[in-house]
Structures are given as C-alpha cells and as structure tokens.
Structure 1
Amino acid sequence: MPVSAWPALAAIVIFTVAFVFIATEKINRVAVVLGAAGLMAALGLVPGSDVFYSHQAGIDWDVIFLLLGMMIIVGVIKQTGVFEFLAIWAAQRSQGRPYRLMVLLVVLTGVTSPFLDSVTTVMLVAPITISVCRRLGIPAAPYLIAEVLAANIAGTATLIGDPPNIIIGSRAGLSFNDFLLHMTPVAVLMFLAFLVLARVMFRRSFVYRPERFEAVRDMDARAAITDPKMLTRCLVVLTLVIAAFMLHTVIHVDVAVVALLGAGLMILVTRADRAAYLGEVEWPTLVFFTGLFVMVAGLTETGVISRIGEWASDAVDGNYSVAAAGLVFGSAVLGAFFDNIPYTATMAPIVEGLVAGTPDAGTGQALWWAFALGADLGGNGTAVAASANIVVLGIAARSGEPISFWQFTRYGIVTTVVTTVIAWAYVWLRYFAT
C-alpha cells in the first residue's frame, strides 16, 4: 500500500472502531467521539486550525449554536407550564389510545418540521411527549423515535426543513419554491406511508391503560400553565424566531444567529430563572456533536469520502437515471453512518460536477433532488445519522427514558428502506420515465 494511503486507512480504522463502540454502547458515546476526534487531530489527519475554523474540515459551529440557542429557548418556555398543558390536551384528545396519540404527535411533528427545522421541532415536541406518556403510564421511547423519524421525513419538503436541504439549495441555486414544487409531493407520500408503517413497527408498545386515562380525562389543562404573562412573551419571541427561520434566505441571517438572538431576547423579556434554563441545555449532546464533526472531518480531509464520490461518478458513465438511483440509495446508505450535514457538504461539490455534465437543466435538477432525498432519508438510518436523532437520544436519557443505539436503529433502518424506495420511484417516474 502506498505511503499516501495510510492517512486514509488510519481515518477509516479510527472512525470504524469509534462507530462500533457507539453502536455497542460499551463506552459512553461522548468519551468515544472525543477520544476518536483527539486521535484524528494528534495523527494530523485533521489540520489543527481547521478543526475550529473550517466548515469542511472541522466543527460546524452553526449547528452547535443553533442547538444551544434552541435548548435555552425550550428551557425558558418550559418554566411556563405550557408543555404540561399540551400533554394533558394530547392525552384527552387521543382518549388515551396509544396509536391515536402517536398519530396526533407525529402529525404535529410532521406539520411543523417543514417550516422549522427537524432539530427545532423535536426539541419542542419531545417534552410534551415525555409528559403525556408519563401521565398515561406508557413508555415514551416509541413515541420519541416515531417523532424524530417523522421529522426527518417531513423535513424533506422544504428548503429549511432538513439541514442538508439548506446546503444543497445554496450550492445548486434552488429556491424555497423549487423545494415546495419538487419535494413536497414525495414528502407527503412518504409521511402517509410512515403513519401506516408506524402502526406495524410499534404495535407491541400500544397498551391502553384506561385507569390512567380516567385520571387525566377531567383535568383542566389550562391550570397547568403557571405563568400566563410569561407564556405570552415567550410565544411572541418564538413566533419571531420561527418567522426569521422561514425568511433566513431572504434576510440573510444564519439560523444559528437567529436562535441565539431569540434565546437572548426571550431571557431578557421573561427574566427567566437562569439555573432552570441552563439546566435544560444538553451539554453532553453538544460535546458529542463537536467530536462527531471532527471524526467525519478526518474522512473528508484524507479523501475517503471524495474518493467514494469519484468512484460513483465514474460508474455512472453518462447514464443519468443510474446516477439518480445511486444518489438516492448511495446517499441513504452513506448518510446513515456519517452525520448527514458534513456528508452533504462534502458530497455537494461532487454532485455539482456530475450535474455539469448533464445534457439539460431538467436532468441536472433531477440529480439534485435525488441527492437531497437520499441525504435527508439517510438521516433515519442510524441513531447518529442526523442531528435530530442525537438530540432526542440526549433528551430521552436526561428524562430517564433512555433509548439505545439499536433500539432506535432497528426502526430507523426499516423506515429508511421503505421511504427510500418510495423516493426513488418518485424520482424515476417524474424525471426519467417519460
């Protein structure tokens, strides 16, 4: 093996060993990623300065600060009691029936995800889910898993729904309306399929406890709101934050900056308890992300991911329907093992080169849509494949409802397979069959 290949081999070995430890949960996942990231840096696989300053080869601070800002916002809102209010409402609305409750929570997640991002959505819905499940005496894990899978599916619909879409839209010059026109139809199809799939996958978790519902049925949900004035202020700020998220491509303010400004404004207008909202920040999750980004950067810097992309481009040989299939299925597989944000950022230039060789603009756009669908749906493949997954696992662990790597992944793999097949059928029928 040539000497130049050793950095790539070292990066692959470190990443693979770390992933195995994360999957088996023999060692705390934060310790694993920090150890792997440190080893990547120590061996020079990631240039030292790039670890902190490069989007392509280091920590994506936009993601870190988006999460931090939204965690603080959720921590402030939680002090108003609104999550308890919504939990009681959901329990009463579903009449305590587990599958009805899952549909209600999943639809709430699905409707919200395209207009926020999937991470923000699950951070808002997860506290409600945990609270309602405790009141009904049912495990929260199946509902949290279903919500994050639904968020990743529904987020494919718009430019801002899933982080990979923002990267692709910027690189390909695709607008919010382009995503609505091309991605929303298939997102709706996949979401409806998931509602049916969830009924089968989680059927053993649907245990109705009438005695627990009786205790909730006659409760006054409004009594759970402890500070109406504070809630009103929170909702005003949250509305401004959501509007800024939706308009960030127009106002040219990064979503991470929006989240931090929103958090600061909410603290200012509510004078919330500092210890309480800082206590809601998932510090281990933020640290896990920093290490994970550096691990993936090691594969990027040593050329592992680009080599895979070049191999795929060579294999296409002018057959663009095959290229589209490769982008859908290949991105879904690779995206399941590498966080789909750095994966998308790395592969976007390769796809751009592939698009440049297409005979017309329509075929080129079809490849971008195939890439977007694969990258988004691959986020459901494993517990560490998307930001929303990692956030929910952190929230669940903190709330005493831990979700293991394999507990999430066994549902995620099934969901990814089903939705990816639907996505490819859509791409082929709409762009290549005629």
Structure 2
Amino acid sequence: MTITAWLATFVFLAVYVLIATEKIHRVKAALLGAGILLLIHGTDAESAFFSERSGVDWNVIFLLLGMMVIVGVLRRTGVFEYLAIWAAKRAQGRPFRLMVLLTVITASASALLDNVTTVLLVAPVTFLVCERLALPVAPYLIAEALASNIGGTATLVGDPPNIIIASRAGLTFNDFLVHLAPLVVLLMVAFLGLCRLLFRKAFTYDPERAAEIMQLDEKAAIRDHVLLKQSLGVLSVVMAAFVLHPVLHYEPSVVALLGAGLLMLITKVKVEDVVRDVEWPTLVFFIGLFVMVGALVNTGVIGTVSEAAASAGAGRPFLTSMVLLWGSAGLSAIVDNIPYVAAMSPIVEHLVQQMPEGGTNGHVLWWALALGADLGGNATAIGASANVVILGLAERNKSPISFWQFTRYGAVVAFATIAISMPYLWLRYLV
C-alpha cells in the first residue's frame, strides 16, 4: 500500500477510537476525520461527493431525510401513541412479550422495506410504550436495530448490499427469498432466545402500570383524523413503491423524497416544524462516515483487504465461503457494508467462475458475502445504518445509548447469527 493508504488507515482507526471511547461527539469525530482525509488527499471533492464507488451514498442520505419528514408529520396525528397502547395491550404489559412483538414486526417489515425506514417508524412507538410501562427504552431500541438487520437479510430489497450482489451475480428477488429467508426465520428464533438472556434485567413487570394500560382506549390517542388519513395514504403509496422497486426501478431515496414533498403539499403542517424534527446530526454523521470509508476505497485499502481475504481460501469452496462469511462480517462491523460489498463483488465473481462446481453451487460464495455483510453490521454501533439511526433517535429523546452499550449486545448477536449461518451454508450447498 502507498503512504497515503497507510495514513488514511491511521486516520480512520483514530476516528473510530474517538467514536468508540466517546472522547468527543461522534459527529465531530466523523467530520474531523473526513476533513483530514480530504486534506492529505486520501480522497478529493470529486471522489467524496460525486463518485458512486467511493463517495457519499446520497441515496441513503435522502432516503433518511424523506422518511424523517414523513415520520415528523405522522407524529402530529397521534398514531404512534395509538400503536404504543395497542402493542402494550397485545403484550398484556409483559416486557418480554412486548420485545418479541416489536422485534418480529421490525424484522418482518425490514424484509419488505429497507431497515432504516423500519426503525424510523418503529422507534417512536417504542419510546411511548416504554414510557407508559416504565421500562428502560435502550434494550428495546437495540433489539429493534439488530432485528432490522437480520430481517433485511431475507430479501433483495431488505438491505442495500443485497441489491449490489444481485446486480453483479444476476440473482432475483425470489432467489434471495428461497435461499436466505429460511435461514433468517431460524436466526430470528435464535435471536429471540438471546434477547431473553441478554436483556433479562429490563423485563421488570409492573402489574399496576399494566392494568392501567389495559384500561386505555387507543382510539382516543388520535388527535387529527384528517391528517392521519392523508399521512397514511401517502405512506401506503411510498411503502408500495419500495416493495415494487424491482418493477418500477425508482430508488427508495427518490420515492421517500417524492412522498415527503407530496405530504407537505397536501397537508397544513408548517414546514419549519417538520424540518425541526429531522435528525440533522445523524445525517451529518453519515456524510462524514461515507467520506472516510470512501477514502479507504479510493486509496485501495478496502480492495487490498478484500483480495487478501478472498485469496486465503481460493480453490477450496468450504474454506473460501467461510473466509468470506467471517471476513465480511468483521469488515462490515468496522466500515459501512455498502462500499465494502461494492469492492468485494468483482472479486467474488471471479472466485465463483473459478470454482470447480460452478453454477448453482458457486452461489454459496454470494450467500456467504451477503450474510457476512448484512449480519456483521450488528456487531458494532456504527456497523449498519439502522444502528446509527437508533443512536441518533435515542440521543434526541434524551435516552442516549453509548457505543459500547450497543456493541456489547450487538457483538454477541452478530457472532451467534454468523455461527448459525456456517452449518446452513455447508449443509445446503457443499455437502
């Protein structure tokens, strides 16, 4: 590697340490790192802001912006209070039942939508229901972020790396559904068992509060029925467009922005009020993070590491798939999985062509890459977009979640789900 590549690596790791230790706020750390990498020519303005390969992923930024606006309008209708009371009553005020309900809904929705959209919609409900039942909100938010990444693994549209893999490998929506959805169901069962163990201290049942919840009428929570109908109408169209992405070919970011613009146009909500609800620090953090990871792509660091990981098991299908699985998980826990998968895809394509089995059996390498990239993002607080969004929402609602508070749970879940994926890949494709 060049001197610039080594410097870029050092800057990235230094910023990562600052974020992990929380010596300075993560937004400050990300912007500082991005600025230094631009200063030392680890990347430049053209690569950082306009390159699809190594620049800011504006699709993610504008998807977040559009959905934050839609959620901001929805919040004014009282629908989140309605859903919070409904969920609490369904769970009969039992904390673990509530977590199961919220995480299963999150995982299921993440398979059809993207995981960022799902957590933006579920998190406001979580804050309210936890407040009603006097429960600590952090365990529920963390569990939802983890569930969204697991659920998003099941389909082509559930997680952005899957779209990149499908494009390069020629895989369809049904291919992902047939090959990964059965494993995701198994992973969710294991995940719920882990939740019972990892978050056991949060499951304190308060019979008095539960009784109060059961007496509430969720319909009374709706404050503006006209605005609710308008908002749900637009949201339904947006959701349908997300699901029909393989047919319509509109990026989720475009759909979200069109939905946000339409909702602002047809309602009487003040623009200033909605814009104030947008999580601007989260968007700025993403931009800084994308610039830093883009510098690692631009200087060849990601490519070098990817090639080394792939060549470690070249010519041996089982070893290659396991190296891809665990290597992708490890890297996706540290850097954003979108540029990593973009850099890794041509290498995997070459490896698939060289496999003696070829054809369908060669797809095991694609599934290993997808599972490692999607599930590995759970390992750290900044390993996946949904994790970062959850941290931003928690901080805004004065219930901050630290890097290590998230990571000590996420790392266990990531390790367990990757470990379960190993025998699945071996038994289904290599035996």
Normalising by structure 1, we get a TM-score of: 0.97
Q: Does structure 1 retain, via aligned residues, the 8 Å contact 2:310–2:324?
A: no
1:203 aligns with 2:210: no
Q: State the partner residue of 1:410.
A: 408
Identity among equivalent pairs (%): 56
1:91 positional shift: 1.3
Aligned match of 2:394: 396
User: 4+ residue runs of structure 1 moved beyond 3 angstroms?
Assistant: none
Larger displacement relative to structure 2 (314-323 or 16-25)? 314-323
Aligned to 1:11: 8
How large is the RMSD of aligned CA atoms in angstroms?
1.1
1:284 deviates by 0.3
Question: Given the alignment of the two structures, is residue 302 of structure 1 paired with residue 299 of structure 2, yes or no?
Answer: yes
- Asked whether the equivalents of residues 156 and 162 of structure 2 are also in contact (C-alpha less than 8 Å), the reply is yes
CA–CA separation in structure 1 for the residues paired with 2:424 and 2:269: 48
Question: Helix, strand or coil for the counterpart of 1:58?
Answer: coil
> SS at 1:361's partner residue?
coil
Q: Secondary structure at the match of 1:362?
A: coil
CA shift, 1:227, in A, is 1.0
Q: Which residue of structure 2 aligns with residue 370 of structure 1?
A: 368
Q: Is residue 102 of structure 2 the alignment partner of residue 105 of structure 1?
A: yes
* Pair 1:147-2:148 in alignment: no
Q: Does the aligned pair in 1 maintain the 2:61–2:283 contact within 8 Å?
A: yes
Q: Is residue 111–residue 154 contact of structure 2 (8 Å, CA) maintained in 1?
A: yes
The residue number in structure 2 matching 1:224 is 221
Show CA shifts across 1:238-271 (max 9, x none). Answer: 1111111111121111111011001111112223
In 2: Cα distance, 1:356 partner to 1:6 partner: 34
- For residue 353 of structure 1, report the CA deviation from its aligned partner: 2.0
User: For 1:75, which of 54, 72, 77 is the aligned residue?
Assistant: 72
Q: 1:10-29 alignment to 2 at 5 Å?
A: 10-29=7-26
Q: Indicate conservation of the 8 Å contact 1:320/1:363, yes or no.
A: no
Aligned to 2:382: 384
8 Å CA contact retained: 2:310, 2:323 = no
Match status 1:37 vs 2:34:
yes
- 1:352 is displaced (CA, Å) by 1.8
Write out aligned runs for 1:86-101 (5 A).
86-101=83-98
CA contact 2:314–2:351 (8 Å) conserved in 1: no
Supply the distance in 2 between the matched residues of 1:174 and 1:405 (Cα, whole angstroms).
35
TM-score by length of 2: 0.98
Does the 8 Å contact 2:43/2:298 carry over to 1? yes
Specify the SS of the correspondent of 2:379. Answer: coil
Q: One-letter code of the match for 1:265?
A: L
Aligned equivalents of 1:353, 1:225: Cα separation in 2: 56
Equivalent residue letter for 2:26: R
Q: Give the secondary-structure state (helix, strand or coil) at the position aligned to 1:380.
A: helix
Q: Residue 132 of structure 2 aligns with which residue?
A: 135
Unaligned runs of 5+ in 1: none
1:61 paired residue among 58, 63, 69: 58
2:154 is equivalent to residue 168 of structure 1: no
Provide the rounded CA distance (Å) in 1 between the counterparts of 2:274 and 2:136. 26
The answer (yes or no) to whether the contact 1:113–1:151 under 8 Å persists in 2 is yes
Q: Distance in 1 between matches of 2:276 and 2:328?
A: 37
| Cα distance in 2 for residues equivalent to 1:347 and 1:376 | 14
Structure-2 separation of matches of 1:314 and 1:372 = 18
**Aligned equivalents of 1:346 and 1:313: distance in 2?**
12
Alpha-carbon contact 1:72-1:263 (below 8 Å) kept: yes
Report the CA distance between 1:48 and its aligned residue. 2.3
How far the C-alpha of 1:316 sits from its partner, in A, is 1.8
Q: What is the aligned length?
A: 430
In the TM superposition, what is the alpha-carbon distance from 1:411 to its structure 2 partner? Answer: 0.3
Please tell me whether the aligned partners of residues 230 and 270 of structure 1 are also in contact (alpha carbons under 8 angstroms).
Answer: yes
Does the alignment pair 1:178 with 2:178?
A: no
After superposition, the C-alpha distances for 1:55-79 in whole angstroms (9 at most, x for unaligned) are: 2111111110011011111111111
Displacement of 1:363 in angstroms is 2.5
Q: Report the Cα offset of residue 364 of structure 1.
A: 2.2
